[in-house]
Structure 1
């Protein structure tokens, strides 16, 4: 991700075209992303790609930041923080992650594979995962503060599991390999999380419902 202190070179429209080209190529070809192919798809020179986005690592990180803007990650997460209870916030976070997953999945797979060979990319992704983990922790902390965290769970342990099972990998396995619909994913995942983390989930006044 481009840091707030890093200058962005050149024409914003050209940069956007380069990032869109990279996104399309990853969806078409997966990990086989080359600067030359991005340049050709964007109809710019390779030098223009390097000047606007940097090398392959910086291009991938810039793409992740661009994707966040395009999918409206802030708007997706707003209902999590506006939810009336911690349990509602849990439902809204599952829904937001499931809504984002189809659009980011191809890039997420490439990033997961590339980080094993690129220390800079791995460090940037771990920082990103730490921020994601903090959102999950805020939800679990709220459930605990409201006296609803089930016995046997610490905030740390519940956060770790919540974070892990809602990663893109499990979503991908359930949707693409086992044929779940998005609604089934939401219903079954929230049911699992309620029964795992919420004290006396049967006392809830309603079943989890999707906002879609």
Structure 2
């Protein structure tokens, strides 16, 4: 095995161990604790990620790769029917949220006092907003958005209304099941942003 391949595998092992630790104990775990869990030195962690902030950003990006959310979004964007395109995007996201919730909620909790946690969270949210804007641009082009929405405002609304925070309030504070939460969130968003449209004939 090449040195580069060994290094890549070590990075993945560190990130997966860090994910488990943050999920169990919170995002303020130390680099030393992560290194010990991964069976490497603290210096090795810094060698791969530079800083704690670099590790946190790599951690949340790793979740995207691990659970394939961008691939799901890309597949949804290919669908011809606008309602199905929106539904598949929301289904993919709302299936992804429970998988990232333990770590995501920790980054959200810490972001007011921890610049590195805030940067890691904003890194992923910036990409998510861009992906959702691609979706709403496509809906606008198909005349599927309600006339009161622009692509930009529809993407912002979609991002906010499908947020990890709202999902957490409904499932944890209100006691909704994950299935009910996903179904009602998706239906409410679709009802709010989609207008009446007639697909063009083939």
Relative to structure 1, is the Cα distance of residues 112 and 9 closer, same or farther in structure 2, using a 3 angstrom cutoff? farther
Is 1:178 the counterpart of 2:163? The answer is: no
TM-score, structure 1 length as denominator? 0.80
What SS is found at the alignment partner of 1:11? helix
Equivalent pairs, count: 196
- CA change 1:73–1:180 in 2 (3 A) is same
Moved more, 132-141 or 94-103: 132-141
Rounded Cα–Cα distance in structure 1 between residues aligned with 2:31 and 2:116: 18
Higher helix fraction: Structure 1 or Structure 2? Answer: 2
Does the 8 Å contact 1:9/1:52 carry over to 2?
no
Q: CA shift at 1:119, angstroms? A: 4.4
Partner of 2:82: 86
CA gap of 1:78–1:153, structure 2 versus 1, over 3 A, is closer
> Tell me, which stretches of 5 or more residues in structure 2 are unaligned?
none
Is the contact made by 2:56 and 2:116 (CA closer than 8 Å) also made in structure 1? no
Q: Distance in 2 between matches of 1:78 and 1:161?
A: 20
1:46 matched to 2:21: no
- Cα displacement (A) at 1:162: 0.8
**CA, structure 1 residues 144+13, in 2 after alignment: closer, same or farther (shift >3 Å)?**
closer
| Structure 2 residue 61 is matched with structure 1 residue 65 | yes
Aligned counterparts of 2:138 and 2:185: Cα–Cα separation in 1: 19
Per-residue deviation, 1:36: 1.2
Q: Unaligned 5+ residue runs, structure 1?
A: 1-7, 205-212
1:11-160 equivalent positions in 2, closer than 5 A: 11-119=7-115, 122-123=118-119, 125-160=121-156
How far is the alpha carbon of 1:41 from its aligned partner? 1.0
Partners of 1:22 and 1:158 in 2: CA distance: 35
Question: In 1, distance between residues paired with 2:5 and 2:75?
Answer: 35
Measured against aligned partners, the alpha-carbon deviations of 1:53-89 in whole angstroms (never above 9, x if no partner) come to: 2321111111112211111123322331122222211
After TM superposition, the score normalised by the length of structure 2 is 0.84
Distance 1:27 1:129 in 2: 19
Measured on the aligned residues, the alpha-carbon RMSD in Å equals 2.6
